[in-house]
Amino acid sequence: MEYLSMLLASNAIEFPKLPFGPAVSWMLAIMFALSILTAVVDKATRQKRKRRKRSPAPKKAVTTKRTSSGPKSDEAILSAPFSDLSGAEFERLLALYFRDQAYTVKEVGVGGSDGGVDLVIIDKRGEKTAVQAKCYSVSNKVPVQTVRELVGAKRNHDCILTLLVTTSDLTGPAKAEAEQFKVEYWHGALLEQKLRSWGKWQPGKKIGRQEAAAKSEIRKAQLEVAAASTSITCGKCGAPMVRRKSKNGEEFLGCSKFPSCRQTKPI
């Protein structure tokens, strides 16, 4: 608009002299100026659209969403290889192992804020060991900082001994640090040997529906035998009473005809 005003002021644009009065002449001049302005704006708009078509659209960032099926059961953990276990599931596997080795186990690292200690294991003499568990790929070795964290954190749990368990190995500086501060460590090969000797960890074993159904039948038969051994009958319908467990883990006697009969009796 400023450009057009300058042209008009400098008389660069000469309008034809028309046989009209001043008012009509000025009106025609304004209409002519508006037509020029419209043409300029249309040209600028077309050029802007062309530039937009030429410039490639920005690429959208592709994010990969990890699907989680929730924590595995103990049965699933015992049949899974290291590569299929999360950090918390690996800690659970070690907890199951140490309990079968007659240790009392405290899972202190649940939730991720372990402060350098995942498990505290206590032997029969009451001696406490701080355990740090690292479920890493073979190429990902445990750094020296992890050893230092474990050494410093054991005092927070009143532990005398320390144990670092990993599915991979330690770096050279980490091994030197561990030897200096007497930190016992299990690398991947040693850990696998211990777990296989244990017998309960069987990676790759799949539990099918038939096996699950067979276990359910065995459990049912055990309950029936337990009911027969008690020789207690339901006071409501006369059927044998069966040992059951509540949600809190407390045992009680329940009618074997459940759910048609809901009679119970404390043990």
What mean pLDDT is predicted for residues 3-18? 53
> Considering Cα of 250, then 89, then 203, then 190, what sign does the dihedral take?
negative
For 219, the enclosing helix (H) or strand (E) is helix 209-230
In the predicted structure, residue 154 carries a pLDDT above the cut 90 = yes
200 in Cβ contact with 178 (< 8 Å): no
Q: What is the pLDDT of residue 226?
A: 55
How far is C-alpha 247 from the geometric centre of its chain's CA atoms? 27
Per-residue b/e over 21-31, b at no fewer than 16 CB within 10 Å? eeeeeeeeeee
CA 163 – CA 91 distance, rounded (Å): 13
Ranges assigned E (strand) in 146-231? 161-166, 184-186
How far apart are the C-alpha atoms of 36 and 93, rounded to whole Å? 82
How much of the chain, in percent, has pLDDT values that exceed 70? Answer: 70
Nearest to 92 by CA among 131, 126, 143, 147: 131
Distance CA 86, CA 77 (A): 10
pLDDT band of residue 195 (cuts 50, 70, 90) is: very high
List C-alpha distances in Å: 114 to 95, 117, 164.
15, 5, 14
What confidence tens digit (pLDDT) does each residue in 60-96 have?
A: 433 333 344 567 899 999 999 999 999 999 999 999 9
Tokens 């309990």: give the residue: 99
pLDDT above 80: residue 139:
yes
**Across all residues in the chain, what is the average pLDDT?**
79
Residue 58: the pLDDT is 47
Highest mean pLDDT among 11-25, 59-73, 168-182, 241-255: 168-182
Q: In this structure, what are the phi and psi dihedrals at residue 178, rounded to the nearest 5 degrees?
A: -65, -40
Of all residues in the chain, the percent with pLDDT exceeding 90 is 46
What per-residue confidence (pLDDT) applies to 145?
Answer: 96
| Identity of the residue numbered 228 | A
Of 154 and 208, the one with more pLDDT: 154
Domains, the chain, with CATH or none: 2-53 (no CATH), 74-198 (3.40.1350.10), 223-266 (no CATH)
93 three-state secondary structure: helix
Q: What digits encode the pLDDT tens for the residues 236-262?
A: 888 888 887 776 777 788 888 777 888
